[in-house]
Amino acid sequence: MTVTPQIMSDPPGAPHEQDRGRAVSLVRPDPLIAQPLILSSPHSGRDYARELCDQTPVPVEQLRRSEDAYVDVLIEGAAAYGASLVCAHFPRVFVDVNRARGELDPAMYRDRMDVCADPPSRRVASGLGVIPRVGSQGQQLYRRRLHFKDAQDRLSRFYEPYHDGLAGLIAEVRDRFGFAIVMDMHSMPEHSAPGVDFVLGDRHGQSCDPRITAAVEAGLRARGFVTVRNTPYAGGHTTEYYGKPATGIHVIQIEINRGLYLHETRVVPNAKFDIFRENLQQFIEEFAARSWSGFTPS
């Protein structure tokens, strides 16, 4: 299997609406087989537009090590089992949609921000805010400070379409079924949780009904995978912001050990990719096919 990153360039003066059309993909299942399940992939984008690459001295090969590479490919067939999907096409090193919109670092900009940033957080201090300052290996992404209008432009063109798409799918699914289950799909470096295949993050029971977390865990373990909960990843902005079990919205972050399917240094699928993808698709199919008729949202 050969999957390569796309290096994109815009025609001069291209309208932003064209960017909105390609920033995010939304896939809805056939209504006849639809289930109350949504899969999201916020960090697998690999469309490195030249206008973005021109601002960093870091080569694309190194930037790509920050991706949750090919998670979108792993889950792309889920609509056949009744799930909805939302995937970002842009890279997380330029806009990280698993951050709050206000997680901005004023020190990154040469001019004054004309919006209020959120109170300083550990993620922003470490350079991993909504507009990241550093890559996965701690390398500085920019030669010089940015204009704040660059950040505003990125939030408008990439961040907002992603969250508009995710929020729209959640509303549609909840309106139809009375509740929605979001699996926020990520990948983790092999060394971050040795011996663990999946880390399930539900913010220690706050973002997802425990019965759903238990069902995810049981389904993965039945397929031979080693799972743990909330350590070292309990969930990010998506689980915290959208996960409100009392309102019928359940969000669980699923971290996949990259060693199961990826050559991490080269950022290419490894020899186990196809087998793992089939196994994961079977898990999604089985989970989506569960009978939810007796499930009462918390």
Please say whether the beta carbons of 198 and 170 come within 8 A. no
Give the pLDDT of residue 197. 98
Q: Which residue type sits at 53?
A: C
Give the pLDDT of residue 119. 79
Listed in sequence order, the residues at least 6 apart from 54 whose beta carbon sits closer than 8 Å to its beta carbon are none
What are the boundaries of each domain within the chain?
16-99+162-288
pLDDT per residue over 149-205, tens digit each? Answer: 999 999 999 999 999 999 999 999 999 999 999 999 999 999 999 999 999 999 999
Give the pLDDT of residue 12. 28
Q: Is the peptide bond before 232 cis (omega within 30 degrees of 0)?
A: yes
**Nearest to residue 94, comparing CAs of 154, 153, 8?**
154
CA dist 124 and 51 (Å) reads: 24
Give the pLDDT of residue 121. 83
Regions of the chain short of the pLDDT cut 70: 1-21, 115-116, 293-298
CA dist 269 and 213 (Å) reads: 28
The DSSP call for residue 292 is: -
SS3 41: strand
CATH architecture of 16-99+162-288: 3-Layer(aba) Sandwich (3.40)
**What are the C-alpha distances in Å from 160 to residues 24, 167, 207?**
10, 10, 22
- Structure token digits, residue 176: 């139809």
> What burial class does residue 248 get, using C-beta atoms within 10 Å of its C-beta: 0-12 exposed, 13-18 middle, 19+ buried?
buried
Give the pLDDT of residue 2. 43
